[in-house]
Structure 1
Amino acid sequence: MRLPRRAAAATALPLLALGLAACSSSPTTANTAALSASEPRRIVSLSPTATEDLFAIGAGGQVVAVDKDSDYPANAPRTTLDPITPSAEAILRYNPDLVVVSEDSNGLVAALKKVGVTVMIEPAANTLNDAYTQIEQLGKATGHASGADSTVATMKSEIRAAVQQAGTSHADLTYYWELDPTYYSATSATFIGQIAGLFGLKNIADKVDKAADGGYPQLSSEYIVQSSPSIVFLADTVCCGATAKSVAARPGWASVQAVKVDDVAGLNDDIASRWGPRLPQLVEAIAAAVEKAPAQR
């Protein structure tokens, strides 16, 4: 099944369509080679998450080009490079000695290997530990191990604090996670679902998920209204202009618990679809919605 752009983006941001459940963040052969290579001076990133990771650990000065979707941080050298159907020829114009990607698309690894360019594959994270491991891998590969360790330590501390403050036992609260206006969602089995699961929330998408959905089922408006989730998370505020007001105006949605108690949480699409150093901000946004819900029930 092919996911819509926003749903695919959220699975990995690697708009990598399904198969994410089978992905692993363990070092691939390409990663192992990168880890043992000399410190790179010219890095090209074709992964928005990897771009954020590289700048967070202190390797930003070595990055000479990033893909068209790498919009953070603002000073990243953004180009027209396509991360989905990458062109080895276009990448080589930047004379890289390390290229970081989220998957081996379009025969890129083989093409770059022929000319002696190391490729590091950092696929979609399945767990928080995967996200931390990727940052540490990039730190070792770029000569910024201490920066990576510091970044991971800060992320863990901030996430731990947010979860502790909001609590982890909220089985009485249900939620709907919206990836786009056509009601694609994410189940508890996805990376997104695991993040929300830190608070013990129940996901309304779990009941209707099928194997073919890969954890990203398309719900119906009727089902969402009938389920009446306690919290609605909107991960389509930037792409599609979703707001609490627009959600409340949908036919029948005025009866949804989250709408009635004003617990519709607008999220930054990019933060909600990446697994890098801004993850604590996503966890904090979820925590805020969780803390708000019990007081209004």
Structure 2
Amino acid sequence: MSTRLISFRISLLFLLTLVLAACGGAQQTVDRPATTPTVAATPAVDDRGTPIVYPKTAPQRIISLAANTSEMLGALGLQDKVVAVDNYTTYPKELTSKPRISDAMGKYNIEQITALKPDLVLSHGGITHEVDDKLRGLGLNVVDLPAVDFTKSLEQILIVGKLTHTEQKAQEVYEQATKERQDIIQKVAGTEKPKVLLEVDNSTAGKPFVFGKGSFGDEMLRDANAINIFADNNSNGGYPQVTDEAIIRANPAYIILTEDPKYGGDPSLVYKRPNWGGIQAVKEKQVYHVNVNITQHAGPRLVQGLRCIAQIVHPDKFTEKLPQYCSDTI
């Protein structure tokens, strides 16, 4: 790992799910379910399988322990109700000025959290189990949403909506994200499927982490009508660490990096990797970077990440320029 010990690839990809069970994979299909689920239809359990208890009154002081839950709260217009966020929250802008209750090493300040007197503490994917237990022991209401695939990541906005008494807004956000996703799927339907490497990070030279079977990145590639070269590898809960040799053998036509360019997600560096010169994507200069925040944060903006991936691998199906958010850093 790089000296940035707790980075997006760790805290926001569920510690690369090294200690978590594999996420569930969706079956490949062009026509995804178009029906709008209700909260009752979504898995109303937390990361440990405990039923989620919805508050009778709307929370007024919310703390987010993960960047993607911060994004969900922002999508619901709850910026004024959020009193603190984790170290890696970068979006929406209104939340970046809130107090930070964790540091770059992934250490959470229990005393600071309790002093803020939150009536809802929201986390995701089991990255804060120890912290959650301490906070619950102090009488705080903690909800740790489970790590899920792309489809259920979008559905979780409905759960957060019910937790915060913003059900109508949550329904609107969900329906808009689902519509955008369906539009992208239909736009690339019937195209030839290129082989793609979707990389999480290359902090260990020669042994990059990638999106594998069961990850939301794998589902995004299928939505984009592309072939994930590691679609059969579900090790590390769907985020396997692979070898350069395995990538070279697979010979992807596209390489898409999702780590921040400051920490290795720089396409120019791929062209310098030893023995990668014969890979089709390298030979044809088809190595790209997509904003880490819309590809590694399991929330409503994953649809933007899907749009970027789909347009990169099927540019002829899009008349507009590649959106600015594809290359943004927030």
Does structure 2 retain, via aligned residues, the 8 Å contact 1:50–1:100?
A: yes
Superposed CA deviations along residues 34-58 of structure 1, whole A, max 9, x for unmatched, are x133111100010111100001111
> Given that residues 58 and 163 in structure 2 are in contact (C-alpha distance below 8 angstroms), is that contact kept between their aligned partners in structure 1?
yes
Give the conservation status (yes or no) of the 8 Å contact 1:31–1:119: no
Q: CA RMSD in A?
A: 2.9
Q: Percent same amino acid among aligned pairs?
A: 26
- Say which is worse superposed, 73-82 or 156-165, in terms of deviation: 73-82
Is residue 192 of structure 2 the alignment partner of residue 176 of structure 1?
no
Matching residue of 2:160: 138
Q: State the Cα distance separating 1:117 from its structure 2 match.
A: 2.1
CA contact (8 A) 2:295 2:305 kept: yes
Partner of 1:50: 69
Contact 1:179 1:235 in 2 (8 A): yes
Name the CA shift for 1:78/1:195 in 2 (closer, same or farther; >3 Å).
farther
**Are 1:160 and 2:191 an aligned pair?**
no
| Contact preservation (8 Å) 1:244, 1:259 | no
Contact 1:168 1:198 in 2 (8 A): no
- Aligned residue in 1 for 2:312: 289
Alignment of 1:52-71 (within 5 A): 52-71=71-90
1:8 and 1:169, CA in 2 relative to 1: closer, same or farther beyond 3 A?
farther
> Greater helix percent: which structure?
1
Quote the offset at 1:4 in angstroms: 8.7
Counterpart-to-counterpart distance in 2, 1:95 and 1:255: 57
The 1:74–1:6 alpha-carbon spacing in structure 2 relative to 1, beyond 3 Å, is closer
Deviation at 1:108, TM superposition (A): 3.5
Q: Which secondary structure does the structure 1 equivalent of 2:94 belong to?
A: coil
Alpha-carbon deviation of 1:284?
0.6
1:147 to 1:53, Cα distance in 2 relative to 1, 3 A = same
Q: Partner residue of 1:26?
A: 44
Q: Which runs of 5+ in 1 are unaligned?
A: none
What are structure 2's unaligned runs of at least 5 residues? 25-41, 318-330
Tell whether 2:167 aligns with 1:149.
Answer: no
Q: Deviations over 1:79-114 (max 9, x none)?
A: 142595534322112111111012373544443334
**Aligned ranges for residues 55-134 of structure 1 at < 5 Å?**
55-76=74-95, 77-81=98-102, 84-102=106-124, 103=126, 105=128, 107-128=130-151, 130-134=152-156
Quote the offset at 1:15 in angstroms. 5.4
**Secondary structure at the residue paired with 2:211?**
coil
What count of residue pairs does the alignment treat as equivalent?
286
By how many angstroms is 1:239 displaced?
A: 4.3
Using the TM superposition, name which of 108-117 and 257-266 deviates more: 108-117
The alpha carbon displacement at 1:115 in A equals 4.1
Q: Assess, with a 3 A threshold, how the Cα gap between structure 1 residues 42 and 185 changes in structure 2: closer, same or farther.
A: same
TM-score by length of 2: 0.76
- The one-letter code of the counterpart of 2:306 is V
Counterpart of 2:120 in structure 1: which amino acid? L
Equivalent pair of 2:201/2:264 in contact (CA under 8 Å) = no
Offset, 1:71: 1.5
Q: Is the 8 A contact 2:290 2:308 kept in 1?
A: yes
Render the CA deviation track for 1:235-256: whole Å, top value 9, x for unaligned: 1243424333221222332322
Distance in 2 (CA, whole Å) between partners of 1:237 and 1:11 is 13
Query: Distance between the aligned counterparts of 1:185 and 1:253, measured in 2?
Result: 16
Secondary structure of residue in 2 paired with 1:284: helix
**Could you tell me which amino acid in structure 2 is paired with residue 26 of structure 1?**
A
Residue-by-residue CA offset, 1:151-185 (whole Å, 9 max, x unaligned):
111111111112222226544x1111111123111
Q: Which residue of 2 aligns with 1:198?
A: 223
Pick one of 264, 269, 276 that aligns with 2:292. 269
Scaled by the length of structure 1, the TM-score of the pair is 0.84
Q: Which moved more, 1:214-223 or 1:107-116?
A: 107-116
Separation in 2, partners of 1:139, 1:210: 31
Partners of 2:281 and 2:62 in 1: how far apart?
Answer: 45
Distance across 2 between alignment mates of 1:214 and 1:113 = 27
